[in-house]
Amino acid sequence: MRKLFKKTQSAWEPEKLPRHIAIVMDGNGRWAKKRSLPRTAGHAAGAETFRRIATYCKNIGIEYLTVYAFSTENWKRPPEEVEKIMQLLEKYIIEALGKMERDKVKMKFLGDVTVLSPKLKELVAEAEELSKTFDGVQVNVCLNYGSRDEIIRAVKSYAAEQIIESNANTESTKKMEETIGSLTEEKFSKYLYTADIPDPDLIIRPSGEHRVSNFLLWQSAYSEYYFTDALWPDFNEKELDKAIIAYQSRERRYGAI
């Protein structure tokens, strides 16, 4: 690791590192199929890659890492595969809880966790509570997450809040119109799972697919995308370096000239 770190520092510029990297962890099943292994073996290999990449991001100074672990659509997969993914998540969180304070790695879970098992919900709550006690790199795990679902939930939360406030006001209709008219992108962002988290600078999609797959649709408006053919279990520090180098070669104008 030390040798690689020294080598890559000369390849990318430390002062221009993305603040927030997001990754779609894709290709576990295909990785396993290529090796005549069950899909669950691919997810286990992918979990190890996640550990390694998260550690590397922390070591090089990335402030936020967001990974797409399980989408709202992934429930359609075979029950045994879903169960294995949930078991791997439990295992990872349990291991992380023992190292979080030492390594100064905070965790936040983005998505609807209410439908998870009682044990997994308890682990998620424990990890997020412990994360409040220190500062450090923040790893956001998108769990039962879908960006369209996130936006709809945000709209409902905003509307419900405004209705409550309007009912307490004698001029409710006028108040509601004024409130809706004053809605801004910044205000709306506060109702998303990613409230108070900066938008991703760089989004990486392994496995050769070129689509966003319902991932951070609102937050990725001006993100830089990097696609690679490497399947997620084969994704390593060198692949991440390539993505960072590509990111640093681009000019981010945010719609300006």
What residues act catalytically? 26, 74
Classified as helix, coil or strand, 54 is: helix
Identity of residue 251: E
The CA-to-CA distance between both ends of the chain, in Å, stands at 40
Q: Helices 39-60 and 79-97, interaxial angle, to 10°?
A: 30
The distance of Cα 55 from the centroid of its chain, to the nearest Å, equals 15
Q: What is the dihedral of CA 13, 57, 49, 9, to 10 degrees?
A: 30
**Strand partners for 226:** 204
Say if CB 99 and CB 105 are below 8 A apart: yes
